[in-house]
Amino acid sequence: MPRGVKKWTEELVARRIREGYGEGEGAQYKPWVGTADFSSLGRTHRAYSQRFGRTIEMVSDVEWNTFVCLEFCRDVTAVYEGFPLPRETTLEVAAALGVKHPTYPGTSVPAVMTVDFLVAIDQADGPCLKAFDCKRSEDAENERAVEKLQITHAYFAGCDVKHHLVFHSSLPMQKVRNIEWFRGATWKPGQTSPSFEQLHELCGQMKNEFSRSTRLDSLAEYCNGFDRRHGVAPGLGLRVARVLLWEQTLRCDLNVPHLEQAPVSSFTLCADDEQPPRRVSIA
């Protein structure tokens, strides 16, 4: 049962529509439901995204792992989690498919169906939208879960939007863990040590040094030396390297575990006039 909503009613649905849930562009987007509104078999996640300028709310580990990959893709320009589908349309789709439309627990109120992520993508041939639902593999054996996904899939087919199913077993988890490691190094609002300006300056210094480096050290050894050369706190150099990896100024094989132990020679510096890779597969 939802934690924050005791019982869904038509009045509550109407109020949420009036209050702008499920609407807004970019940083102003407000998901139809948040982490406090959902029961969840997995862990919930609330994470501030520097790229998208707001806190993203996810209700399972599968959603979080998918989001980590989506956020890292440079062709993704916006992510809308918990995006609502128009109820009148999904009711029509369910009737056409001959399946029961979901209702809110303990009521006969038709539920406002949502897709886990609606994603805006800037492709070479122009912008487009893609939809992603994130499930555990065992959901494919649940007849009712499959029926709901059929409604969602048919709805997006009618909108000419590709609808993708992402199962936890298909996620490239080593890539996810590495991207999480990069992501954790980014500057957070309100952080004073280091300041945003100091971290940015150190990134520039490491980038300049890296372009001339012929060291055979591991990344961790190189970063320890960077700390000593620049007189900064131990560990800050490795954080700077992680920021460069997050920005894709520094590149590596995302499938390699324990990247801090990888030789410096296995990392590549992106030239100033070179665009970083735009896409990271999530399957």
* CATH number of the CATH domain containing 234: 1.10.10.10
Q: Give residue 274's pLDDT.
A: 59
Across 155-189, b (16+ Cβ under 10 Å) vs e yields bbeeeeeebbbbbbeebbeebbebbeebbebbbee
Closest CA to 181 of 116, 262, 111: 262
| 94 backbone dihedrals φ, ψ, rounded to 5° | -60, -45
| 157 and 182 share one domain | no
On whether residue 5 sits in a domain, the answer given is: no
| 160 and 210 share one domain | no
Contacts of 103 by beta carbon, 8 Å cutoff, 6+ apart: 109, 110, 111
On whether residue 103 sits in a domain, the answer given is: yes
Distance of alpha carbon 104 from alpha carbon 205, whole angstroms? 55
- Asked whether the whole model's pTM tops 0.85, one would answer yes
Closest CA to 256 of 219, 213, 214, 203: 219
Could you check whether the bond before residue 194 is cis, i.e. omega within 30 degrees of 0?
yes
Q: Give residue 5's pLDDT.
A: 73
Angle CA 2–134–156, to nearest 5: 100
Q: Give residue 4's pLDDT.
A: 62
Sign of CA pseudo-dihedral 241, 252, 255, 137: positive
User: CA-based Rg of the chain, rounded to a whole angstrom?
Assistant: 22
Q: What is the number of structural domains in the chain?
A: 2
Domain range for 226 is 174-269
| 92 and 163 share one domain | yes
Q: How many helices (H) and strands (E) does the chain have?
A: 8, 8
Q: Give residue 283's pLDDT.
A: 45
On whether residue 274 sits in a domain, the answer given is: no
For the chain, what percentages of helix, strand and coil (3-state, to nearest 5) are there? Answer: 40, 20, 40
| 60 and 193 share one domain | no
Low-confidence residues of the chain: pLDDT under 50: 1-2, 283
| 22 and 108 share one domain | yes
Which tens digit of pLDDT belongs to each residue from 73-130?
A: 999 999 999 999 999 999 999 999 999 999 999 999 999 999 999 999 998 889 999 9
Q: Give residue 271's pLDDT.
A: 73
Across 108-140, b (16+ Cβ under 10 Å) vs e yields ebbbbbbbbbbbbbeeeeeeebbbbbbbbeebe
- Domain holding 107: CATH number? 3.40.1350.10
Q: Please name the amino acid found at residue 127.
A: P
The alpha carbon of residue 131 and the mean position of all alpha carbons in its chain are separated, in whole angstroms, by 13
